[in-house]
Amino acid sequence: MLDLTATKVHDEARQGERFAPFKDDPNSYGKQFYIESYGCQMNFADSEVVAAILNKEGFGATRNVEDADLIFINTCSIREKAEQTVRKRLTDFKKLKTGKPGTLIGVLGCMAERLKSKFLEEEKLVDIVVGPDAYRSLPRLVSEANEGQKSVNVLLSREETYADIAPVRLNSNGVSAFVSIMRGCNNMCSFCVVPFTRGRERSRDAGSIINECRDLFDQGYKEVTLLGQNVDSYHYIPGNGTEANAVSFANLLEQVALISPELRVRFSTSHPKDITDDVLHTMAAYENICKCIHLPVQSGSTRILQLMNRTYTREWYMKKVDRIRELLPGCSITSDIIAGFCTETDQDHQDTLSIMDYSNYVYGYMFYYSERPGTLAQRRYQDDVPLEVKKQRLQEIIEKQNQLSLADYKKDIGQTCKVLIDGDSKRSSEQWVGRNSQNKVVIFPKLENGRHKKGDYVQVQINDCTQATLFGAII
């Protein structure tokens, strides 16, 4: 999954996102909740499901943590640093509670799954602990906690997809929304804690996904991003159907694209071993399916990929890149890369740098390896690359990505692209910010006659760039 807290060479729109919801109508709810989300887009989407459940219980969303009766933090366990950040925030919240004793503090998401007893019993940091498959039990847990009990539900489920819950969009620009299509992961990459914190893979009812996307379009949204840990293994058999009626990811993508040519469709994340030609052909067939594939490589060394249990080789990955280039010329490819995995040599690291050149990533999320308790790697291998070496290699990977991004963005100068306007640019209300099909951020001056609004498509001619932003003018 894309991780919003990672080092990323990219846009102004998504950096450091950590949201608290707006106060919709303070008078219509008796009590207020505040929620802060960390980690992948899936967590951000889950917070919107939590908001829907809490709204139904009479809690309205607030941006001000001081106003809240309920404070939630939706957590990420993917790297140690993510967990440290959450701990710090929980300590801040606990201090706040001293001045307002009735307030309840809850931990949601992946850390809840991992550290339930620690939070509740040893450190007494929180009142409520809820894992990613247990959000339906929030109303009960909140009322138990109000009565002074410590409330926990971290049961993982094989079925839960929250298919019937219409998420309440938090901090949305009204243009772009995330739609969760599946949960969990069966892949067991050896470095990754996600299969333990989010459980087994399950696909959400295709009809409910299409309805949610259609509703979003009817409300004025112009872009949906279909989310899953591994979208290419989406597989849904409706009602009493059989394998013959199964809906694949390619089928789903097509059905969402057919809602309207005005609705852009994105998806994330693709596992290189699972993305099929069917998906690539579907992308080619529909202009509104954005030409951007997030295809995490993790490492360019076959030996390391094997230790990582990624189930492909360097050459196999390169062939996948060739196939994308063949069927989808101009499609951007982006990646996740880990520096300094167990036993990584300098040669392995060079292989990562060279596969970055080969794949010509438009941007990347880059990390150094952080050992996670309970993972296959932690049990089987020694975390033997010294921290300074990990950091040095990560730095080289970041520099390589900066060069690749800049070279790629420079090629767009003089070209024209179709941009969906996200809103005002952060730098100036005289400028729009939007994204093109390749998910590159584009900034351009508003026209004086005020003809356009956010959510409009415009043709922009590119005249300048940095490594993370294109600049241009409407034509």
Known binding site for [4Fe-4S] cluster: residues? Answer: 40, 76, 110, 185, 189, 192
Return the SS3 of 87: helix
- Binding to ligand SF4 in span 44-103, by CB under 6 A: none
Beta-bridged to residue 34, according to DSSP, are 71
Stretch binding ligand SF4 (CB under 6 A), from 55-63, 174-182, 188-196, 401-409: 188-196
Nearest partner of 292 among 361, 243, 393, judged by Cα: 361
Q: Which of 229, 282, 334, 425 binds ligand SF4 (CB under 6 A)?
A: 229
**Treating both helix axes as pointing N-terminal to C-terminal, what angle do 249-257 and 277-285 enclose, rounded to 10 degrees?**
10
* Closest separation in Å from C-beta 303 to ligand 5AD: 18
Cα–chain center distance at 337: 15
43 binds ligand SF4 (CB under 6 A): no
Q: Which of ligand SF4, ligand 5AD, none binds 282 (CB below 5-8 Å, type-dependent)?
A: none
Q: Which of residues 92-151 bind ligand SF4 (CB under 6 A)?
A: none
Contact between 363 and ligand 5AD by CB under 6 A: the answer reads no
Residue 361 interacts, among ligand 5AD, ligand SF4, none and using kind-specific CB cut-offs from 5 to 8 Å, with none
- The CA-based angle 7-10-14, given to 5 degrees, is 85
- Tokens representing 287 are 């202009």
The order of strands in the sheet holding 332-339 is: 7-8, 364-368, 332-339, 292-294
Rounded CA separation 60/78 (Å): 30
Closer of 208 and 270 to ligand 5AD (Cβ): 270
- Count of residues binding ligand 5AD (CB under 6 A)? 14
Number of residues that bind ligand SF4 (CB under 6 A): 10
Tell me how far CA of residue 471 lies from CA of 14, 15, 418, 432, in angstroms. Answer: 17, 18, 13, 10
User: Taking CB under 6 A as the rule, does residue 8 contact ligand 5AD?
Assistant: no
Q: Among ligand 5AD, ligand SF4, none, what does residue 185 contact (CB within 5–8 Å per kind)?
A: ligand SF4
Phi-psi region at 85: left, alpha or beta (left = phi > 0; alpha = psi -120 to 50): alpha
Q: Could you give the CA distance from residue 73 to residue 312 in angstroms, rounded to a whole number?
A: 36
- Phi/psi of residue 352, each to 5°? -65, -45
The rounded Cα 129 to chain-centroid distance in angstroms is: 22
Q: Contacting ligand SF4 (CB under 6 A), which of 53, 142, 185, 433?
A: 185
Binding ligand 5AD by CB under 6 A: which of 135, 363, 367, 409?
A: 367
Applying the rule CB under 6 A, the residues between 254 and 273 that interact with ligand SF4 are 271
Report the binding-site residues.
40, 76, 110, 185, 189, 192
> Based on CB atoms, which residue is closest to ligand SF4, 78 or 168?
78
195 contact, one of ligand SF4, ligand 5AD, none, CB 5-8 Å limit per kind = ligand SF4
The answer to whether 192 contacts ligand SF4 (rule: CB under 6 A) is: yes
In b/e form, how buried is each residue of 328-365, taking b as 16+ CB within 10 angstroms? Answer: beebbbbbbbbbbbbebeeebbebbbebbeebebbbbb
Please give the residues from 240 up to 299 whose contact with ligand 5AD meets the rule CB under 6 A. 296, 298
Binding-site string for ligand 5AD from residue 58 to residue 97, where x marks contact by CB under 6 A and - marks none: --------------------xx------------------
Q: How far apart are CA 376 and CA 392, in angstroms?
A: 25
In the list 192, 209, 295, 468, the residue contacting ligand 5AD (rule: CB under 6 A) is 192
Which DSSP category does 5 fall into?
T
How far apart are CB 6 and ligand SF4 at their closest, in Å?
Answer: 13
Closer residue to ligand SF4 in complex, CB, 221/368 = 368
Locate all alpha helices (DSSP H) within 79-120, ordered by sequence: 80-98, 110-117
Q: Binding ligand 5AD by CB under 6 A: which of 160, 232, 336, 422?
A: 336
144-152, 286-294, 350-358, 369-377 -> range binding ligand 5AD (CB under 6 A): 369-377
d(CA 398, CA 406): 12
Cβ proximity to ligand 5AD: between 80 and 277 the closer is 80
Buried b / exposed e across 192-202, counting CB within 10 Å, b at 16+? bbbbbbbbebb
Taken in order 221, 133, 105, 148, is the CA torsion positive or negative?
A: positive
Positions that interact with ligand SF4 (CB under 6 A): 185, 187-189, 192, 194-195, 229-230, 271
Positions that interact with ligand 5AD (CB under 6 A): 1, 3, 78-79, 191-192, 296, 298, 336, 338, 367, 369-370, 372
